[in-house]
Amino acid sequence: MCGIAGIVSDGAGWARLGGITGMADALAHRGPDDEGYAVFRADGSGVCLAGGPATPATAWSLDAPYAPAVRRENLGAHGAGLALGHRRLSILDLSPAGRQPMCTPDGRYWIVYNGEIYNHVELREDLERAGETFRSTSDTEVLLRLLALRGEAALGELEGMFALALYDSHRRTLLLARDPFGIKPLYWCAWPGGMAFASEPKALLTLDGVVRAADPEQVGRYLAGLPTDGGERTFFADVRRLPAGHLLTVTVPAAVVSGPYRWFDPTPAPQSTMGFMQAAAVLRGMFLAGVARHMRSDIPVGAALSGGLDSSAVLVAMRHHAPDADLSAFSFDAGKDAPSEIGHARTAAQAAAARIHVVMAEPADLGRDMADLIRAHDEPVRSASVYAQYRVMAAAADSGVRVLLDGQGADELAAGYRPMVASRMASLVSRWQIFEAVRLWRAALALPDVSGAALVLRAGKLLLPPWAERVARAVPALRLLPRWVDACWLAERGALPHPAPAPHGPDHLRAACLDALTASYLPELLRYEDRNSMAHSVESRLPFLTPELAGFLLHLPEGHLVGADARGKAVLRSALHGIVPDAILDRRDKIGFVAPDAAWLRAAPHWLRGVLHGDGPPMFDMPALRREAERFLGGGAYAERLWRGAMLAAWARELGVEFDGGGAR
């Protein structure tokens, strides 16, 4: 896993290309093991290759057409049209042969890429049978050769996570692409005659003319507690996100951008008729094989372990494939201030014969580390659980484990969220299976933390005709926004937040899973996963998030996902029987990865008062927000809106964000 950056600029803006080293420096945490640069002349006549302080000594003597030739301070940008930069975290092929930017033997195609291709071994064998030879054992070279031979069509052959830029120096076009689920990030911005891309917004913000101006629509959605990460918009008006499963193309040096276009369609195939036990058996084999591929690495691999079903399954499957490995798992314990799964985590670790590292944070740590957390994420985060994950990744790095497997994605694919029971009820009612829906509702009442009334209301909303659903969705912004937010400020900018349409069927549960996968849940969680891990130079791998596994789960009958006992992930539980301890499989509670937001915030009064002191964002009534904070610090009830207000104010102050700034120039 790495950090990538690039700038395209016409002759009038060639001076901007000198900013490539500053962009790469902003991404140094993503790749401490090497840095590389390639600057291409605007007339197509040549390329200059450079290294920098992080480039290992052995790279300078590399016998390859992509070896560095000059120090980066001698990297001339005059007359150039494209600059590529890369920071390397060495995971596969630790030698300089795996460095980037990398080119094909004829020098036509160049790549910078962030991620891992887990089926690179199989793809390499296919290419070798077709006559290809390889210089390295890296997945980067396999990816490059595959793209050079098959173009965009090659993306559909990949099992992995990736954000990549491929330059065709003959056609002088640049292809940017992102993996099907958006595990690896890619951001870009444009100006007349130029554009730039990078793994994180902070790299783009180093460029002259890219303004740190907030996007009012994202600000409004965040303050209203609505999803923010499913589309192109980011919290910065100048910076766009390439959505998951999309690509775009750029001409060099004119910087004409085409796209983004969707190359991966997550819409599930027509519903399968496969029986439950057969589906469980197929899923078991598919999952175990996927974990094996995700374990491919030239450095030690560990696991992030919450104690829930998904992360426990990943850990035990790792032991299945590596019976003699020294396996480490990293868990978080919130202590007495929040529900804890640490007991279940210890059970899973014992079953996997893994060494468990338990991370505990003192309540005051949040205030101490908040500035670092904000700088790591670039954009506001929704709760203190993000900080808990940040600390887990730090512990892994401190222990020398730089690759962690995690269970992210199973809840979205296999209906693991409690509200999805209502979606299943709606599907049953829409098919006139009323008695089955009632039985499911009664079963749900036996689960912890389930409101029968809330399930009925949610299912009823899903069953509304389209016109009535639109009326119900027209919720006034004042009901979504805290009282200390000036809705007029947002309205003047066309940014009043409204909920997205509810995911409709006729297969309501499958629609809910698809929405969670692409809009309401997973995109934001993946942003947190990436920033928290890469802040500590740790690669996070997610075995559940593969096109094969997603396609299989999303086309199963809904009853295979939410069982008659109203628990989600029914077919996954059956598939994992005999692998995961029964004490975890049989759990009826769902805690999730939670942190004691209220306790931690109350233990950081100096930080909270400090960030709310003086002027704040222009849509805030700061005296009213300060009064709410003082009521809370004095023992009053906690509300998530207080976290969001404090986080937005801290983000704006820490990063120097403007709220009425201009666009890129």
Q: How many CA atoms lie within 13 Å of 561's alpha carbon, on the beta-carbon side?
A: 33
CB-CB contact of 25 with 212 (8 Å): no
User: Tokens 């002259």 map to which residue?
Assistant: 208
Q: What is the DSSP string of 540-575?
A: EE-TT--HHHHHHHHTS-GGGTS-TTS-S-HHHHHH
Helix (H, G, I), strand (E, B) or coil at 208: coil
Cα–Cα distances in Å, from 55 out to 95, 103, 200, 202, 367? 12, 18, 21, 22, 36
Distance, in Å, from the CA atom of 586 to the CA atom of 589, rounded to the nearest integer, reads 9
Distance, in Å, from the CA atom of 77 to the CA atom of 116, rounded to the nearest integer, reads 31
Please enumerate in sequence order all residues whose Cβ is within 8 A of that of 247, keeping only pairs 6 or more positions apart, or say none: 152, 155, 175, 176, 177, 178, 259, 260, 261, 263
Residue 170: both structure tokens together:
């003959």
Helix (H, G, I), strand (E, B) or coil at 251: strand
User: Tokens 């990436």 map to which residue?
Assistant: 530
User: Tokens 């990030």 map to which residue?
Assistant: 185
Buried b (16+ CB within 10 A) or exposed e, 171-199: ebebbbbbbbbbbbbbbbbbbebbbbbbb
Residue (of 641, 524, 665, 589) closest to 223 by Cα position:
641
Residue 93 annotated as binding?
A: no
Cα–Cα distances in Å, from 503 out to 411, 512, 520, 584? 16, 5, 10, 30
Residue (of 114, 68, 87, 84) closest to 8 by Cα position:
84
Helix (H, G, I), strand (E, B) or coil at 369: helix
CB-CB contact of 30 with 184 (8 Å): no
CB-CB contact of 357 with 395 (8 Å): yes
Helix axes 276-294 and 309-321, enclosed angle (nearest 10): 60
Phi, psi of 213 (to 5 degrees): -105, 135
Please enumerate in sequence order all residues whose Cβ is within 8 A of that of 248, keeping only pairs 6 or more positions apart, or say none: 175, 176, 188, 242, 257, 258, 259, 260, 261
Helix axes 309-321 and 342-351, enclosed angle (nearest 10): 20
Pairing status of strand 80-88 against strand 34-41: antiparallel
Written in H, E and C, the secondary structure of 308-355 is CHHHHHHHHHHHHHCCCCCCEEEEECCHHHCCCCHHHHHHHHHHCCCE
Annotated binding site: 139
Annotated binding site for L-glutamine: 139
